[in-house]
Chain A
Amino acid sequence: MTRIRIAAAIAAVLTCLALQSGVLAPLAISAAISLPAVLVAAVALSDGPGAGIALGFAAGLIADLGSTHPAGVLALTWMGIGMVCGLAADRKSVRADAVIAATLCAVAASLATMLLTLLNADGASLTLAASQFLPTILGDGVLALVLVPLVRRAVRADVLRAPRGPVVLLGVDS
């Protein structure tokens, strides 16, 4: 089951990166909307901070290595998204979870831009981060409204459900 979850996570991350680069980025040029970041948030909201931290770091590192900025920046910020979303998840209302995901993704994008500005990386400026904050929240919010219920349904499917701990598997808890 764990192998299927890892394979599904890799497929989801690569699909999101491809859609982000091929469709979303050119259409939303004046906002830092990020489909992979929202995916990390949606998984963490449904599956908890552990899954969020792991997926956020792995997806961020792939995106970092495929970019021109220093590797580790997105790994760090998306891991943060995964951790905080997993801790702050409402798990009952899709709208509440979408708001959490959108806000955290926009904050993470701003933090990443600030970090890159400190590192003097190309493309990062604080003015840009400030001017893009609201459009980013709105865009990420729309993506989250679609992704959160989809991911929630997917992780609840039998084949992708998180493995239980050894105590439960041995039936000691019953």
Chain B
Amino acid sequence: MRRLTRRQRLAAIVLAALAACFITLDLGGGSLAGAHSGVRGTLGALYRGTDGVLGPLRRFVQGVPHAGTNEAKIHSLEHENAALRAQLAQRSADRATASELSALRLGAQHLGQKVVPARVIAFGPAQGFDWTVTLDVGTGSGVKIGMTVTDGADVVGRVVNADSSTSRVLLAVDPGSGVGARDARSGELGVATGTGASGFTFVPLDPNSSVRVGDVVMTGPSSGSSFVPGLEIGTVRSVRTSTDGTVRASIAPGASPGSLDLVGVILVGGTPVASRPVIGTDSSLAGGR
């Protein structure tokens, strides 16, 4: 095995000290906010270009495991929303995109909010602990930090950074995230904590609550949650009661983090200033600017 030369050893020590300084500065406040913003903007442009070239290939590979499910979903939507489907089919040759837009439209109607459609152009840039995605819309389209992102019916995450043309979304399944939640069947309130790709863990506030497998869990009242209320978090797949009586339910996520493509940013408290059309509460598509 080789050994480091004196200069290499010195360089390693200096750079390690520099890295420690960066960590301290970034934890301490916004000293590096400008640097973060600049690099995110540059990388955002790079990701947008890459997505233009490699996006179709990625979406094809991502769609392979869900091919059967998507087909069934499309058929079901065709029967239920014949009028909407006809309108969408005229606008887009891409069936998958059409169904996603339809879901966003229904979501906007259901929530009574305006939604900016956005495409996922990149996933967490470095390693698996970064549960973020980059969207191709930013402050220029009315997106602000803290806004909720949905795929139409399910919660996807919330905006944590936004520049003029891109924004970064912290996924709801992020293991550090907790969201106020409600069991749609029983109305029980609780907290859903992200567990990465496997979904969420739901802990009801009332230990005697009757959470059952198959229950749908939604985002809870807005005062106790950073997300817009009424979005589906997922479905309970197993329930476990510990010896101290605490109930924990494992939840399969409604929006699979690995297959995100077209999503919508809910413009709560924001004004649509978009150059991009906004999906309104009356299912209309309107230009913002």
Contacts and interface: CB of A to CB of B under 8 A. Distances in A.
Contact of A72 (B23, B47, B62, B197): B23
Interface in B28-82: 32, 35-36, 38-40, 42-43, 46-47, 49-51, 54-55, 57-58, 61-62
Given A21-B123, A23-B54, A53-B11, A72 B176 contact: no
Interface stretch (A30-38, A144-152, A154-162): A30-38
Nearest to B57: A23
A20 B50 CA distance: 10
B26 A67 contact: no
A21 B47 contact: yes
A88 B95 CA distance: 51
Interface in A120-155: 120-125, 127-129, 132, 136
Contact of A69 (B2, B40, B47, B130): B130
B122 interface: yes
Nearest to B121: A22
Contacts of A26: 58, 62, 120, 123, 258-260
A62 B39 CA distance: 7
Given A30-B197, A79-B12, A88-B1, A109 B50 contact: no
Contacts of B170: 68, 122-123
Nearest to A32: B128
B27 A75 contact: no
B2 A87 contact: yes
Interface in B119-170: 120-132, 134, 160-161, 168, 170
B23 A73 contact: yes
Nearest to A50: B8
B4 A49 contact: yes
A1 interface: no
B62 A68 contact: no
B28 to A, nearest CB: 10
Contacts of B32: 65, 71
Contacts, number: 206
Per DSSP, chain B at the interface is helix
Contacts of A23: 54, 57-58
Contact of A49 (B2, B20, B62): B2
B176 to A, nearest CB: 4
A21 B2 contact: no
B205 interface: no
Contacts of B43: 17, 21, 62, 66
B129 to A, nearest CB: 5
A109 B22 contact: no
B277 interface: no
A61 to B, nearest CB: 7
B196 interface: yes
A107 interface: no
Interface string A19-47: 11111011101111110110000000000
A36 B50 CA distance: 16
A118 to B, nearest CB: 10
Contacts of B161: 68
Given A19-B50, A29-B257, A68-B130, A123 B176 contact: yes
Contacts of B121: 22
Interface of B: 1-5, 7-8, 11-12, 15-16, 18-23, 25-27, 32, 35-36, 38-40, 42-43, 46-47, 49-51, 54-55, 57-58, 61-62, 120-132, 134, 160-161, 168, 170, 174-177, 195-197, 257-260
9 contacts: A26-B260, A50-B7, A50-B8, A53-B15, A64-B126, A66-B126, A79-B19, A122-B176, A123-B131
Interface of A: 14, 17-23, 25-27, 29-34, 36-37, 48-50, 53-54, 57, 60-76, 79, 83, 86-89, 109, 112-113, 116, 119-125, 127-129, 132, 136
